Amino acid sequence: MFKLNIVPINSWLNNSQKPLVIAGPCSAETEEQVIKTAKQIATKYDISALRAGIWKPRTRPNAFEGVGEEALKWLVKAGKEINKPVITEVANAQHVEKALKAGVDMLWLGARTTVNPFFVQEIADALDGINIPVLVKNPINPDVQLWIGALERLNKVGITKLAAVHRGFSSFEKSVYRNVPMWEIPIQLKSTFPELEIFCDPSHITGNASLIGEVCQQALNLGFSGLMIESHIDPANAKSDKEQQLTPSVLAEVLKSLTPKQVHSSNLQFQNKLEELRLKIDEVDNALLKKLAERIELVAEIGNYKKENDVAILQIERWQQILDSRENWGKLLDLHPEFVKLLLEVVHQESIKIQTAIMNNQVEVVDKK
């Protein structure tokens, strides 16, 4: 695995406040709107950086797609007015060139860009030798490898001021969220690169201003370093994403209501109790793995028996019986049905894999009896 060469975020964002907050309008619509929003935010909360979309990748061509290059000077001017760095989204090399020429301090790659390695590489090539801070949003679909690949491409051209942004994932399933959080994906990214700072974009996760606070708190509970939130002086009349933008006053209320979480605690009593509980988890995990190993042996034995009798590997009726019965068993043990189902699906996939190898003469199982 490629190791990221990155520097601590506080060294380039110049703000030790936790959580770090990037806020501003979804789109830069007019000079007055951008500057007025920036000033109102700054008087109510000490944000880390000011954001605004200059070029907006919209699903439909008749939607507001941003003012474009003209708006860059509005954003830069607004940043100077409140003495904060500014950040905007870039989707190609031309955007990069224009943003840098205008004096933009930081850049971010959106979900529609991260999903395409060609787009990411074009931007990386344009930034070769220019170590400007870059934030990378997750791709539209829940593919952590695409996310990692985008970070690696930028890092390889010398971008060390690098961070990720979790903005949720598109899904066909009904949800209260515009983009379902799937928190396990950014957690997997953090596990791969512990040194990588991750922001949460609750505006795009929720698509609903009323849900932003709870998603912000969940991100902090999981140890995220910062938040990227959309704020507009008049959300009802915003030209894009009006439902998910907060007024500067509401933004300040939400941020002040949050409870930041420590990554570590210096409390000795807490540390001792935590270590005690972790040791118990280690014991349970060891017992759990031994039981899984026993199950795999039985799966292999069944695979050999099916092979000898020319029986198909996949038995739908049996699989459905397992799902139904184990879900009920789980309920008796206060285990969430969805958790039980996910666990069983992983075990079932491994079982199919093992029996397939046996059927194809790729595995020889020794009878241990």
CA–CA separation, 302 vs 355, rounded Å?
8
Q: Is the pLDDT of residue 68 over 80?
A: yes
Domain ranges of the chain: 10-257, 268-359
Q: Tens digits of per-residue pLDDT, 130-141?
A: 999 999 999 999
DSSP codes joined into one string, 196-252: -EEEE-HHHHHSSGGGHHHHHHHHHHTT--EEEEEB-S-GGG-SS-GGGPBPHHHHH
Neighbouring CB atoms inside 10 A of 59's CB total: 6
**Residue 132, CB-side half-sphere exposure with 13 Å CA sphere:** 25
State the pLDDT at residue 59.
78
Q: Tens digits of per-residue pLDDT, 256-274?
A: 999 988 878 888 898 899 8
Helix, coil or strand: residue 21: strand
* Phi, psi torsion values for 46, nearest 5 degrees: -85, 85
What's the mean per-residue pLDDT of the chain?
93
Q: Tens digits of per-residue pLDDT, 231-263?
A: 999 999 999 999 999 999 999 999 999 998 887
CATH topology of domain 268-359: Chorismate Mutase Domain, subunit A (1.20.59)
State the pLDDT at residue 369.
42
DSSP codes joined into one string, 168-201: -B--SS--SSSSB--THHHHHHHHH-TT-EEEE-
State the pLDDT at residue 337.
93
State the pLDDT at residue 172.
85
State the pLDDT at residue 1.
56
Q: Tens digits of per-residue pLDDT, 69-118?
A: 999 999 999 999 999 999 999 999 999 999 999 999 999 999 999 999 99
CA–CA separation, 243 vs 177, rounded Å?
12
Provide the token pair at 97: 């060139």
Q: Is the pLDDT of residue 366 over 80?
A: no
Q: What's the CATH code, domain 10-257?
A: 3.20.20.70
